Amino acid sequence: MGKHLSTVLDECGNVWAVSDREIAHALARYKGQLEMDFPHMDDSDLDEIIKQGLDLDNILNEEDGDY
């Protein structure tokens, strides 16, 4: 928990000059950032994305034939 508070308060600058409302707003912003960032459980998802990216020309050519 200390890590999270330290991160939020670091953004605020001088903690003694920051109002409670500003700290609450910074905490809410930080919470939103954490909720958007989710860990990947399996490296196979990333491996599949990389594999598809390397084969992008073939994927695009296949899609052109579908029209």
Residue ranges of the domains in the chain?
2-65
Q: Give the global pTM.
A: 0.50
Under a CB-based contact definition with an 8 Å cutoff, are residues 1 and 19 in contact? no
Say what the pLDDT of residue 33 is.
Answer: 85
What is the per-residue pLDDT for 63? 67
Tens-digit pLDDT profile for residues 19-63: 989 989 988 998 888 888 776 667 777 888 888 888 878 777 776
Longest dimension (CA), the chain: 64
Residue 35: CA atoms inside 13 Å, Cβ hemisphere, count? 6
- Which residues make Cβ contacts (< 8 Å) with residue 22, sequence separation at least 6? 12
Q: Look at 40 and 18; give whichever has higher pLDDT.
A: 18
